[in-house]
Structure 1
Amino acid sequence: MQSNNPVFRNNDGFSKTSYNAYGNATYAGNGAAHSGYGQTDPSQWSVGTPGTAAPTQAGAPMTIDSVVQKGAMSIGLVILAAAVTWLVTPDVTENVDLGPLSAAIVVGGGAAFLLSLVNSFKRVVSPALVLLFAIAEGVALGGFSKLIDGYYGGGLVVQAVIGTFAAFAGTLAAYRFFNIRVGNKFRTFVVAAMFGMVGLSLMELVLGLFGSSFGLFGFGGLGIVTAVAGLALGVFMLILDFDMVENGIANRLPEAESWRAAFAITVSLVWIYTNLLRLLAILQNN
C-alpha cells in the first residue's frame, strides 16, 4: 500500500508494496517472498540454488535504535535552539521592544516551513537539511514560547513541554498495546487535514497582513476549536509516523532513512507542542 504521507512517500519501503498469490503482504529485502513460493503452477516451484544467500540491501539497515538516535539529535537541536533564543531575546515587559522576538518567530518559522517542504519532497534524505530544520524550528519555538510566557505566565511552557512528551508516550503505548493498524483512508485523511490546517494558517497570515483575519489561530473562541483539532491531528500524525517507521524497519531500509523518520516525528511533536501551548494560553486567559 503506497503511503500518502509526502515525507515517507519518497521511499516505497515505508509501506507495504505487494501481495503474493495467497494474499500475504510481501516486503522488500528480507520481507520478500522466496523465489518459487506463492506461484500458482507447482511445476515452477523451486527452493533456490544451494549455497546462495538471500539478497540483502547494502549497508546497515534502519533499526529502532537508529531512529531513536537520529530523533534524539533532531529534537535535541530544537530544544537547544529554543533555549538559546529564549536567553538572547529580551523579556516581555511593558514598553519593551518585541522586535527581536517577532524576528525570531517570523524568520525561524519561515525558514522551518521552507525546509520542511524541501525535506518532505526530497527524494534522497539529507541529514544536514533535517538538522537545519530543527535549528530553525527551535528558533521560532523559542520566540513563540517566550512571548506566550510573557503574556500569560503560569508555567504554561513547562506544562506544554511535559504534555507533548506525555502525548508521545501515550500514543506510542496505545499503538503498541492496542495493535493499531493504519489503513489507506486514515492516511489520506491525516495528510489532507494537515495540509488543510497549513493552508488555513497561511490564509490567516496573508489576511493579517492586510489587517483582516478570522481569528482561526488566535486566542478567542475559534482559536480554541483549531487548537483542539490541531492537537488531535498531531496525535494522528504520530500514529502515521509509527506505522511508517515499523514498515521501514520491516523492509530493511538503509540506515540513512532513519533521518527521514526523525524529521517526521519532530514535525509531529512540534505540531502537538504549538497547539497544546496555544490551548493552555486560551484556557488561562479565560
Structure 2
Amino acid sequence: MFRRSAEFNGTANAYGNQTYAGNGATYQGYGAQQASTDPSTWSVGAPPTTPVSTAPMTIDSVVQKTGLTLLVVIAAAVATWLYIGDIQNGTTLADQTNAAQLSAALLIGSGGAFILSMVNSFKRVISPALVLAFAALEGVALGALSKFFDMYFGDGIVMQAVIGTFAAFAGTLATYKFFDIQVGNRFRTFVIAAMFGMVGLSLLEMVLGLFGMPIGLFGTGGMGLLFAAAGLVLGVFMLILDFDFVENGVRAGLPERESWRAAFALTVSLVWIYTNLLRILAIMRGD
C-alpha cells in the first residue's frame, strides 16, 4: 500500500521539487514561477500569483486521522453489538433471528471491508471517505465477531483482547523509538511475503473446510494456536512498517493527505492483532 504513494517513493522530495526517473535531476515543483523571455506574455500592474501551498504531514495529523478512523471502527462495532440480540440456546425463534443477524453482519462487514481495503491499497491518491467507509464496515464485522466470542467464551474475553491490542501497540511503539529500529528492505520484504503467505493459507483453509478437509489453522488445537501466535507476531511487524512509513513521511514532508494512508495502515494492523488475540485467548481457555 505504501508503494502506491507517489511522494513516498521519491517522485517528490521534501523541498517541493519534482523529480523524474532516469537522470535524478530536479525540476521546479508545481506552483513555482519561471521567468518568461517573451515580451508578449508580460503584464503590467497584475497582482502576483500566490502559489497554493499544501500542509505537510505531521505526527499530530497522523494521530488525529488515526483517532478518527478508530473512533468510527469502535462506534460501528458497539452499534452492531447492541443491535444483535443474545443467543441463549439456539432453539427459539429469537435465537435463530439473532444468529442470522450475526452471520449477516459478519459476512457483509468483512466482505465490504475486504473490498475497500483492496481499493484503498491500490489507489495512488488516498481517499478519506473510503478510509472511513472501510472503518465503518470493519467495525460492523468486529462487532459481530466480538459478540460471537463473548457469547461462547465470555469472562471478559473481548475486553482482554482490546486491552492486549493497545498494549501491543504501545509496547511496539516504545520499542521502535527507544531502540531506534531501522527498517531495511529485507525486513520489509519478509513481512510482506509472510502476510501474503498467511492470507494464502487462510484462503486454502477456507476452501478445504468447504470440502470437509480442514488443516486446523482455525481450530482450537495446537495448529490453530501456532497459526494465531504467528499472526500476532506478524501484526507487530506490520506496526513497525507503519511507524517507519510515518517517520519517513514526516521527515520527507509528504502532503497531509498521506496521514489518511497511515491511519488506514495502522487500523488494519490493529484489527489484525485484535482478531489473533481473540483466537489465542479462546484457545487458551481450552473450550
User: Aligned residues: percent identity?
Assistant: 64
Structure 2 counterpart of 1:160: 161
Instruction: Output the aligned Cα RMSD.
Output: 1.8
Tell whether the 8 Å contact from 1:171 to 1:235 is kept in structure 2 after alignment.
yes
1:28 paired with 2:13, answer yes
Structure 1 counterpart of 2:80: 85
Structure 1 counterpart of 2:61: 66
TM-fit CA distance, 1:31 = 9.3
1:70-219 equivalent positions in 2, closer than 5 A: 70-95=65-90, 96-97=95-96, 98-219=99-220
> In the superposition, relative to structure 1, how do residues 217 and 278 fare at CA in structure 2: closer, same or farther (>3 Å)?
same
Tell whether the 8 Å contact from 1:164 to 1:276 is kept in structure 2 after alignment.
yes
TM-fit CA distance, 1:207 = 2.4
Equivalent-residue separation in structure 2 for 1:218 and 1:13 (angstroms): 43
Q: Which is further off, 189-198 or 90-99?
A: 90-99
Equivalent-residue separation in structure 2 for 1:277 and 1:132 (angstroms): 24
Alpha-carbon deviations, 1:75-98, whole Å to 9, x = none?
111111110110001213212221
Tell whether the 8 Å contact from 2:8 to 2:249 is kept in structure 1 after alignment.
yes
Alpha-carbon deviations, 1:210-247, whole Å to 9, x = none?
33321212222211011100000000000000001111
List gaps (5 residues or longer) in structure 2.
18-50
Structure number with greater Rg is: 2
Structure 2 counterpart of 1:42: none
Tell whether the 8 Å contact from 2:172 to 2:236 is kept in structure 1 after alignment.
yes
1:9 paired with 2:3, answer yes
Equivalent-residue separation in structure 1 for 2:146 and 2:219 (angstroms): 15
TM-fit CA distance, 1:285 = 2.2
TM-score by length of 2: 0.82
**Equivalences, count:** 248
Tell whether the 8 Å contact from 2:6 to 2:124 is kept in structure 1 after alignment.
no
Equivalent-residue separation in structure 2 for 1:114 and 1:206 (angstroms): 19
* 1:105 maps to amino acid: L
Equivalent-residue separation in structure 2 for 1:87 and 1:142 (angstroms): 9
* 1:179 maps to amino acid: D
TM-score by length of 1: 0.83
Tell whether the 8 Å contact from 1:62 to 1:256 is kept in structure 2 after alignment.
yes
TM-fit CA distance, 1:187 = 0.3
* 1:146 maps to amino acid: K
Tell me which stretches of 4 or more aligned residues in structure 1 moved more than 6 Å. Answer: none
Equivalent-residue separation in structure 1 for 2:87 and 2:257 (angstroms): 42
Equivalent-residue separation in structure 2 for 1:272 and 1:194 (angstroms): 13
TM-fit CA distance, 1:57 = 8.8
Alpha-carbon deviations, 1:145-204, whole Å to 9, x = none?
110110011101000000000100110010001000000000001011111111111222
List gaps (5 residues or longer) in structure 1.
1-6, 19-26, 33-55
Structure 2 counterpart of 1:278: 279
1:216-255 equivalent positions in 2, closer than 5 A: 216-255=217-256
Equivalent-residue separation in structure 1 for 2:52 and 2:145 (angstroms): 43
Tell whether the 8 Å contact from 2:73 to 2:139 is kept in structure 1 after alignment.
yes
Q: Which is further off, 216-225 or 272-281?
A: 216-225
* 2:4 maps to amino acid: N
Q: Which is further off, 217-226 or 231-240?
A: 217-226
Equivalent-residue separation in structure 2 for 1:119 and 1:227 (angstroms): 26
